[in-house]
Amino acid sequence: MKIKWLGHSAFHIETAKAKILIDPFFTGNPAFRESERKAATAGLTHILLTHGHGDHVGDTVAIAKETGAMVVGNFDLCMWLGRQGVSNMDPGNTGGTIQLGAFSVTLVTALHSSAQITEDGVSHSLGSAGGLVLHFDDEPTLYHMGDTDIFSDMALVHELHEPDIGIVPIGDRFTMGGAVASLACQRYFKFNTAIPCHYGSFPIIDQTPQTFVAGMDGASTLVATPEVGGVVTL
């Protein structure tokens, strides 16, 4: 498995059987490198979405139309994307598991909001924000937390899924900050690898992972902090 960070909460996951984008926020993402776009969409099979905010849905509509990749997200968000012209979708909702052949995705709880405000100022509720647990036959189990605060039922996510890899928001203000994120990882999970995200993009959130890294000092979990465009190979 190769995990490439594309800035903010956007990731490209490559396995022997799938090429997956999670929360493909490219246009307008100050951290995204335009030189990564072609590789990120080449041979793409799936686009997975944690929630409906623009910095997570990002370029989903354009990429889905260009590549034909299947879009997976909560039902309300998928129905809204359908009205934007996306046709290849497989919706679910919190607690449900979607079988996608090469892997499965379980939508789990996150503490956050989820909406789009259109140019005419109308707010469209796009279901519940969530996290994504990806199970593969021959690869580690991966949990992208989405945007969230810490919550005690993270213990149930661990009990039910035992994720090996955690992709963890640490930027503060709109998600938990680094200190709380490190507490979540150590109290509720036994990750082999943790990869922080949702930082270093907009000035209003934390610019470095230093607080999270410091909070994980002494833990058995390997903390991987790739540069934007960097790859973690597992």
Q: What is the CATH number of the domain that holds 80?
A: 3.60.15.10
Q: CA-to-CA distance for 152 and 160, rounded, in angstroms?
A: 14
Residues ≥6 apart with Cβ < 8 Å to 11:
3, 4, 5, 21, 22, 23, 144, 167, 197
Q: How many domains does the chain have?
A: 1
pLDDT value, residue 124: 81
pLDDT value, residue 73: 98
Q: What is the pLDDT of residues 136-195, one digit of tens each?
A: 999 999 999 999 999 999 999 999 999 999 999 999 999 999 999 999 999 999 999 999
**109 beta partners:** 130
Q: Which domain holds residue 20?
A: 2-233
**20 beta partners:** 13, 46
pLDDT value, residue 231: 98
Intervals of the chain under pLDDT 70: 119
pLDDT value, residue 11: 98
pLDDT value, residue 89: 98
Give residue 97's identity as a one-letter amino acid code: T
Q: CA-to-CA distance for 111 and 24, rounded, in angstroms?
A: 20
Q: CA-to-CA distance for 232 and 234, rounded, in angstroms?
A: 7
End-to-end CA distance of the chain: 5
pLDDT value, residue 118: 72
> What own/partner pairs with CB < 8 Å and gap ≥ 24 does 202-206 have?
202/30, 204/173, 205/171, 205/172, 205/173, 205/174, 206/170, 206/171, 206/172, 206/177, 206/178
Q: CA-to-CA distance for 171 and 148, rounded, in angstroms?
A: 10
